[in-house]
Structure 1
Amino acid sequence: MNYRFLGRTGFRVSEISFGTVELGLDYGVPVAGEHLRPPTEEASRLLNRALDLGVNFIDTARVYGASEEIIGQALRTRRDEYVLCTKVAAPPAGKSVAEHVRSSIAESLCLLQTDHVDVLKIHSASVEDIRRGEMIAAMLKAQQAGHVRFVGASTYGEEAPILALEDGRYDCLQIAYSAIDRRPEQRILPLAQQRGVGIIVRSVLLRGVLTHRHTLLPPQLAELKAAIVGLNGLVGGETESLPELAYRYVLAHPAVSTALVGTARSGELDAAVDFGSRLPLSAELISHIRRIVVRDEDQLHPGKWPSDIEDWRPADRKAGDAGAC
C-alpha cells in the first residue's frame, strides 16, 4: 500500500481508504441482493481485513445506520492503527447548532468506543452551512476539548468546497471525483493543493456504474453510458478492468490524499487495495481519458438520475439504532 499526507494534518493515510456506509445500510444498485448490508460478523471481518491489508483511514457517519457501532465493536482493540473519520449532519430546523453538534459527537464517540475522532466532517455541507459558519465553530470547540483532532466537510458541487477552501479553517474536504466526472480538476483540486487541504475522494465508481453495472443505465442516461463504454475501451495494457482505471485515474492527481472504496465484499476491497499499490497511469492514458466528456452535467449527478435506477435511499434511512448510547 502507498501512503500520502492528508493535507496539513500530518496524518499519513493509505491511498485507498474504507468507506463504511455499506456496512451499516442497504446501499447501491439493487441488483440480485448486491446492495444488502452484510451480517455484523462479516462486516467485522472485513474491517479487520482492511487494516491487515494496510488501509489506515476509516470513514463513517452518524447517518450510516449501524456503521459506527459496528466499527466500535470490531476495531476496539486496534484504535491506534487507523485514522478515524466520522461526520455530523446539519441540525433539524429550530435546534441549536452547538447543542446538536455536541450531542452528535457524544453519541458517535460512544458508539465508536473511543474518546476522540481524528477527523470530524460536516455531512453534506451546503453553501449556507459554510457561509454561516456555525457548524465549523461548534466543531472547533470540540477540537479544543480534545474530542476531535481535525475538522473538514463533505461537500457537493463546486461552490461549497470552494467556499470552505477560502474559509481557511477546514483541514480536509471529501468530494466526488472520478474518471468520468473530472470537474474538480478545474478549481477545487488546484486550490486545495495550494492551501494544504487534504482531499478525500468519494464516488470513484460513480455509485457503481464505472463497473460492469454501467450496462444497467437506462436510455435517459445514454450520453453517460456511451462515455463509460468509451472508458471501458481504454482498458487493457496498463489496466485490467474499468474499476482499476477509475481508481488509478483519481490517484494520479497530486492533490488527492486518499480514495474511498465503499464495499461490503472482500473481493472488491482486495482489488481496490491492489490498485493503490500500482504505479501511476501514464500521461498518454490520462490524456485519452480526458478526451471522453459528458456534456450533460445532470447525468453526472446521481441525485438527478431516473428514480427507477436511483432508488438507493431506503425510506427508513435515519440516524440508525443508537444501541446503548
Structure 2
Amino acid sequence: MELRPLGGTGIGVSPLGLGTVKIGRNQQVKYPSAFTIPNDGAVRELFDLAWELGVNVVDTAPAYGNSEERLGKLLPHKNDWIVVSKTGEIFENGASRFDFSAEFTRKSVERSLRLLGRDYIDIMLVHSDGNDMNIIRESAVCDTLQQLKQEGLIRAVGMSTKTVESGLWCVENMDVVMVTYNVDHTDELPVLQRAAELKKGVLIKKGLQSGHAQSISDSLHFVFTQPAAHSVIVGTIDSAHLRANVAVTERVLASCS
C-alpha cells in the first residue's frame, strides 16, 4: 500500500492500520463474538504478514491489556513502524480507570516507551472517558503531551475523541485526531472536513463498526471518500481477514482516485 501524509505531521501512514486490542485483552470488549488471545507465534506471523502487505501503522494503548508489552517483544522491524498509543485509560482487574493528571500522563508515556522498546512514540493520543471537553479544559493531559513532544519523546499528539466539539478543538490545537466515522455514524463529519481544511492528521476508528459492518468494501469506500481519512484502524487476529482487508482497501482507493 502506498503511504499517505498524515496531515502536516511529516509522518507517512498506510491507509489501513492494524489495531491490537485483540492481542492483549478479551474482557469487556464489544466485538460480535468471543475470541481467544493468540499466542506469540501467531502474533509474530500476523505482524510479519501486515508488514509484507504494506501496513506500517499499529495502534495500541495501556487500556489494551498487555498489547504494548507484546508489541515491544514481537513486532518485526520495530523502529520502522508508526506506533500509535494512548494515555489516560488503564484496564486492570477487569475494569477501566482514568487519570488525566500531569504526573500520570508523564509516567504513562514513559511506561509505554519502556514496554514498546522505543526512544519515542510516533503518535500519542488522549484516551477519553467520554467527557472530552472536561478533560481538555480541566486536566493537564494535553499540555503535558505537548511538553513531552518538545522533549522529543513524542512526534505528534492528539486525542481519540467522542464528541464533535472536542474533535474540532483537537483539529485546531493538536496534530492528530482519531474519530469514529462509518456508514451508521456520520456525526463527526464536520471534524473531518475541518481537518482537511487545516491539513491536520486524521485516524479513523470503528470504520467497520467494530466488526459489525455488513460490507467491508462499502464501509471502506464510504470512509475513504473523505479526503481527511488518512488511515483506518482495523483490529484483527485473523490472517485471512487481514489479507482481505488490505485487498479491499487497495481496490477502494483505486476506485476513489
| TM-score > 0.5 by shorter chain | yes
Give distance in 2, aligned partners of 1:90 and 1:159: 21
Corresponding letter in the other structure for 1:129: I
8 Å contact from structure 2 (residues 83, 121) kept in 1? yes
By how many angstroms is 1:133 displaced? 5.5
Q: Across the two proteins, how many residue pairs are aligned to each other?
A: 246
By how many angstroms is 1:140 displaced? 1.5
Report the counterpart of residue 84 of structure 1 in structure 2.
Answer: 83
By how many angstroms is 1:192 displaced? 0.8
Q: Tell whether 2:152 aligns with 1:159.
A: no
By how many angstroms is 1:280 displaced? 4.1
Report the counterpart of residue 94 of structure 2 in structure 1.
Answer: none
Larger strand percent: 2
By how many angstroms is 1:2 displaced? 2.9
Deviations 1:224-251, CA, capped at 9 Å, x for gaps: xxxxxxxxxxxxxxxxxx1121112211
Report the counterpart of residue 226 of structure 2 in structure 1.
Answer: 253
Report the counterpart of residue 209 of structure 2 in structure 1.
Answer: 206
Q: How does 1:145-224 map to 2 (within 5 A)?
A: 145-166=151-172, 168=173, 170-185=174-189, 187-211=190-214
Corresponding letter in the other structure for 2:168: I
Q: How does 1:297-312 map to 2 (within 5 A)?
A: none
Report the counterpart of residue 70 of structure 1 in structure 2.
Answer: 70
By how many angstroms is 1:48 displaced? 2.1
8 Å contact from structure 1 (residues 57, 83) kept in 2? yes
8 Å contact from structure 1 (residues 129, 135) kept in 2? yes
By how many angstroms is 1:41 displaced? 2.1
Corresponding letter in the other structure for 1:177: Y
Distance 1:281 1:115, change over 3 A: closer
Report the counterpart of residue 239 of structure 2 in structure 1.
Answer: 266
Q: Which runs of 5 or more structure 2 residues have no equivalent in the other structure?
A: 91-96
By how many angstroms is 1:278 displaced? 1.5
By how many angstroms is 1:147 displaced? 1.2
Corresponding letter in the other structure for 2:175: D
Report the counterpart of residue 291 of structure 1 in structure 2.
Answer: none
Q: How does 1:1-325 map to 2 (within 5 A)?
A: 1-26=1-26, 27-29=29-31, 31=33, 33=34, 35-75=35-75, 78-89=77-88, 97-124=101-128, 126-132=132-138, 134-166=140-172, 168=173, 170-185=174-189, 187-211=190-214, 242-280=215-253
8 Å contact from structure 2 (residues 32, 211) kept in 1? no
Give distance in 2, aligned partners of 1:143 and 1:66: 24
8 Å contact from structure 1 (residues 248, 281) kept in 2? no
Structure ID, larger Rg: 1
Q: Secondary structure at the match of 2:119?
A: coil
Deviations 1:116-164, CA, capped at 9 Å, x for gaps: 1011110126111122361111111211222111101101131221222
Corresponding letter in the other structure for 1:137: D
Report the counterpart of residue 317 of structure 1 in structure 2.
Answer: none
Q: Which runs of 5 or more structure 1 residues have no equivalent in the other structure?
A: 212-241, 284-325
Distance 1:183 1:96, change over 3 A: closer
